[in-house]
Structure 1
Amino acid sequence: MIVTHFLNIFFLLLLARSGLEVLAAHPKLYWSDDCPPARPWARFSKKVYAPDSRRLWTSHDEEEAWSPVIALPGRRNLGLGRHWHFMTVQFWVLTGAVYLALVFTTGHWRYLVPTSWSLFPDSVKTVGTYLQFRLAGPLPVEPFNAAQKLSYFVVVFLLAPFQILTGAAMSPSVIARFPRYTRLFGGRQKARSLHFLGLVAFAAFTVVHTAMVIVHGLPREFAAMVLGSYDADRRLGLAIGLLGLLLLVAFHVVITRFSLHHRRRTQHLLGLMVNPFERRISRGFTSRQHYSRRDISPYFRVNGYPPVGEDYQRLAADGFRDYRLSIGGLVEHPVTLGLDELRRLGNQSEITKHNCIQGWTAVAQWAGVPLARVLDLVKPLPDARHAVFYAFDDKARTEGSSGVYYESVPLYLLTKPQAILALDMNDAPLSIEHGAPVRIRLETQLGFKMVKWVSAVEFVADYRQIGMGQGGWREDNQFYANEAGI
């Protein structure tokens, strides 16, 4: 249990710093899944954007670049922050499982689990003792006093599971497959807010716990924590404990610098553990969302500025009457379809929740062609494994980056019941800001996979020959994971 104690410290710090990197991408917290721009309950940014602003703004404008001193790795690296977070959470949960197994097999649970209601008033008395600048002694035949026992119980058996449960309630695949589960927390944004408050609770516990260690005597407490006994060599325990903390700080300095200077290598190394985790969730879950019209959000954020190329501007000026969607690659029947031809393939309407990778959500009604109908029309060849959706959006002109926006999607996602080529939004043709004339909807995925302003679709055997070979523009340039189920 000594080892699991230090591993818990190690992983919790990784989770906290990487979690702050994720929060920096949308540093606002809401109680409503509509995410009203001007009404967060908490805002960690000086930026304020109004829904009726005369100037078009996007959710990326709300992002902050927090210092690498607090965020891992910092400096607007959401993709890498998510990699660190989801890699770490797997090992943290495993460490917790091992710790609980040891707690119950060794009988240590008796020192953690309250067995009498008297523990609660005794804890209050213990706190009062500390406030009088006196040390509180342990309970009879137990190593902890009442306040310690109660706080350890809350952290181990309540707070840690609470963080896992609220974290799962933010996954788009979980939200889509189990809408009722997320509603247990009042929606994704309440779960996100509660998850943040759980982080604050962990931080508060750590500060108080550290203060108590100092108050009770560092050598004595480190001997117990490191060597397992208050009677052990206190100098040795103190030396080992301080060395461990020094190595922990050094490790964080090294991984932060490595992540910032070798972002592609970090993406690949962490992806070895993160991508299979996300892939299992994406493959196994099917959206079962059925929101009502009264759930539709009054404001739906824009993510990414519309294309500014002459070809797109010409099509938009003519109401997209000359728009043609080219669908080819590894298919038996390549086709080029206009909007009227697309509509004749069929129409499917659905009211679903959009989950942006930055953290905001919104509900809208989408209508368009089931992607399964498109597959039936073009008949992908046996070698085809992915569909690559290209956009009119040239990022060199809209974001100062390189390349045309694209995303690759495994074919099994295109056969999901709520996977569509969306042509309409909220009973009207798609607006330019939200992807006109065509965007895709994949309701178990994060928003960056749902390409807007679609210009062409290509079926391929391997996406590694496209762009920088990572599977999409965000993956290429912002080091996102190619899997997008969490």
Structure 2
Amino acid sequence: MLFATDQWLRLVPVTWDVFPNALSTAIQYASLNFPTESSWTRYNGLQQLSYFVTVFIAAPVSITTGLLQSPAISNRLGLLGTVLNRQVARSIHFISFTWFVFFILAHGIMVFITGLRENTNHMFAGVKSAGWIGFPFFVLALVLVGVAWWAASPFTIRHARLVQKTGRILVGWIKGFSEWWEPTAELSESDISPHFWPNGTMPNSAEYEDLLAGKFRDYRLRVGGMVETPRQFSLADLKTMRKQQQITTHFCIQGWSGVAEWGGVKMSDILDVVKPLPGARYAVFYSLADGSDGGRYYDVHEIFNMRHRLTILAYEMNGEPLSVLHGAPLRLRCENELGFKMVKWIAAIDFVRDFGDLGAGQGGYNEDHEFYGYRMPI
């Protein structure tokens, strides 16, 4: 509504006089000798600057830096995604939201102490009056917000999947659309992080210990399901295939990020060998490790996303064989998804038509246990 009318013009300073006027107004407020209120017709310098910063600076900065924390978006923007990398964007994002907290507190306090009746009339009745016409609507709004706040947490706890499905309907198509963007941002060796944080529950089985003791000579990657040619690949087999190296940013859902060079075989080459059937829509990756709550870790990906240029099965990290901490002998790198989607210690890949009968049917271990989305490019 602000931009559908000419009201936005009231927020834009047109002379440098706004700065000394804002300072003078701030001193008057601080001395509790409030200036004459005339916001019905024009804002004073302090009000105008506050609204201008909120609408034209803080809001777009918050939106932009929020989106830059997305792997699909940041890895698509080349140099911009590198300069405004996730941690820089996250810090700016925090500062901009600190401004919003300050603005809300200051604005709310000023509504009460500079004339509650007149201000609520302006906001809730659209009239300039000293009466009480807007105040009942203000109280009603407070009650509705309070009731909604009181009911929200119990409702969301009882109906968590319903809330998740509603969110998927609202924004899932945006997340799905962003998967189609080709991740193109590759960095240089100077960008590689000195420390790359490991996480995830480590494999804890005799099977894995035997593989590790034999330096993975007996490791076999089983690829099957809805494919024309099921295969088992040894690590040596994978290393004879065309190798791809890429320096990319890893985005963890916990908020941290890191840059590393990955080397491995393209998933598109694996698909060309096994030839998924026309009805296959998803690739399911199974780990040799369990999840944090017990049960085998797995995750599901749209099959088309496995053909992305930077989607690989990595067996090297920073020029060295992949370490156990980071997923040896094999881990997925899918550069337009968050880190938990990139299964480590891969045991098998199955191509399926649907994942409703896998685990709790949500598309992955974290999706089953923690209400994550099975598509996480944002």
TM-score (norm 1): 0.75
* 2:375 alignment partner in structure 1: 483
Equivalence map 1:431-470=2 (5 Å): 431-470=323-362
Gap change, CA 1:246 and 1:184, over 3 Å in 2: farther
One-letter amino acid of the structure 1 residue matched with residue 344 of structure 2 = K
CA offsets, 1:126-179, max 9 Å, x none? 111111211112469833222111211111111111111111111101111113
Which of 145, 150, 166 is residue 248 of structure 1 equivalent to? Answer: 145
One-letter amino acid of the structure 2 residue matched with residue 432 of structure 1 = V
The runs of at least 4 consecutive aligned structure 1 residues that moved more than 4 Å come to 138-141
Equivalence map 1:60-209=2 (5 Å): 98-101=1-4, 105=5, 107-138=6-37, 142-185=41-84, 187-209=85-107
Which of 197, 205, 214 is residue 112 of structure 2 equivalent to? Answer: 214
Name the CA distance, whole Å, in 2 between partners of 1:180 and 1:344.
Answer: 33
In the alignment, does 2:235 pair up with 1:334?
A: no
Name the CA distance, whole Å, in 1 between partners of 2:321 and 2:54.
Answer: 50
Equivalence map 1:404-415=2 (5 Å): 404-415=296-307
One-letter amino acid of the structure 1 residue matched with residue 216 of structure 2 = F
Gap change, CA 1:339 and 1:140, over 3 Å in 2: closer
Equivalence map 1:387-398=2 (5 Å): 387-395=283-291
CA contact (8 A) 2:68 2:81 kept: yes
Q: What is the aligned length?
A: 378
Name the CA distance, whole Å, in 2 between partners of 1:215 and 1:141.
Answer: 17
Which of 324, 334, 337 is residue 220 of structure 2 equivalent to? Answer: 324
Equivalence map 1:269-348=2 (5 Å): 269-283=166-180, 285-348=181-244
Structure 1 gap ranges (5+): 1-97
Name the CA distance, whole Å, in 2 between partners of 1:296 and 1:340.
Answer: 27
One-letter amino acid of the structure 2 residue matched with residue 249 of structure 1 = G
One-letter amino acid of the structure 2 residue matched with residue 252 of structure 1 = W
Name the CA distance, whole Å, in 2 between partners of 1:465 and 1:137.
Answer: 67
TM-score (norm 2): 0.96
Name the CA distance, whole Å, in 2 between partners of 1:300 and 1:248.
Answer: 44
Equivalence map 1:217-236=2 (5 Å): 217-231=115-129, 233-234=131-132, 236=133
CA contact (8 A) 2:262 2:317 kept: yes
Gap change, CA 1:150 and 1:311, over 3 Å in 2: same
CA offsets, 1:380-430, max 9 Å, x none? 1111111100001122xxx2x142111111111111111100001111111
- Quick check: which one's helix share is greater? 1
One-letter amino acid of the structure 2 residue matched with residue 478 of structure 1 = E
Name the CA distance, whole Å, in 2 between partners of 1:277 and 1:99.
Answer: 25
One-letter amino acid of the structure 1 residue matched with residue 152 of structure 2 = I
Name the CA distance, whole Å, in 1 between partners of 2:314 and 2:226.
Answer: 23
Bigger drift between 161-170 and 238-247 goes to 238-247
CA offsets, 1:323-354, max 9 Å, x none? 11100001000001110011112211111100
Name the CA distance, whole Å, in 2 between partners of 1:392 and 1:305.
Answer: 10
**Which protein shows a greater Rg?**
2
TM-superposed CA distance for 1:480, in Å, is: 0.4
Identity of aligned residues (%): 39
Gap change, CA 1:138 and 1:217, over 3 Å in 2: closer
TM-superposed CA distance for 1:184, in Å, is: 4.8
CA RMSD, aligned part only?
A: 1.5
1:418 is paired with a residue whose SS is: coil
CA offsets, 1:436-478, max 9 Å, x none? 1110100111111110010000001111121111111111111
One-letter amino acid of the structure 1 residue matched with residue 2 of structure 2 = Y
